[in-house]
Structure 1
């Protein structure tokens, strides 16, 4: 049994940005996750995962604005003596998503959110006179 830290990337259109939350990179059929590290012990893998953070980048292309979301997670997999996959796929934990609501001109962080819907709700509910924005 191996506990692997895996990296997965997904592009999410601006229209579907509310789907950005923990685990969102696994919600697609054409995944090609990268194995970053492999552990024999689950607790070691989970402890190492704490050093990774999810990343969100807002980009634009021919089809308009979109987000590239990178997540890390610990997945349990069983392999045979030849290193061939036997079974598994259970995800134990994801890296943390941090979306900050930041106020200008002080650049004070007003809140930290783990999903786009909560972050945008906070942004829309902001009622002070200074400008605010979301930082990933």
Structure 2
């Protein structure tokens, strides 16, 4: 069983993450902000979730899904560049979008090159699922303040 880590940083309008395997960062991610696990407006709770392939009627194909998310169903990994629903509908409704990098500006946060990042994550996660299983452990990123600033 392979365990991947999603380390989150919470912001008022979005949640930014880093997806890791061991000491190697694989991708960044964007999600909805934390809104007490409310369906379609909140990211999912921190915890460890099994990754599986599941057919998605919305996307019409096999997708990577997270199992046993408390109070939620249909949580997928899929491409999206916008998790902020302030000015337009968010592209995410509780799911996780891998992105190549994140742009901050003018009170907005956008994920960029999501399809490229999602394809890479599907390759890595898919191999792990097929060869013994995979878990995604989601937790808050710990920031350390020292004399040089945040780490």
Q: TM-score, normalised by structure 1?
A: 0.24
More helix by percentage? 1
More strand by percentage? 1
Larger radius of gyration: 1
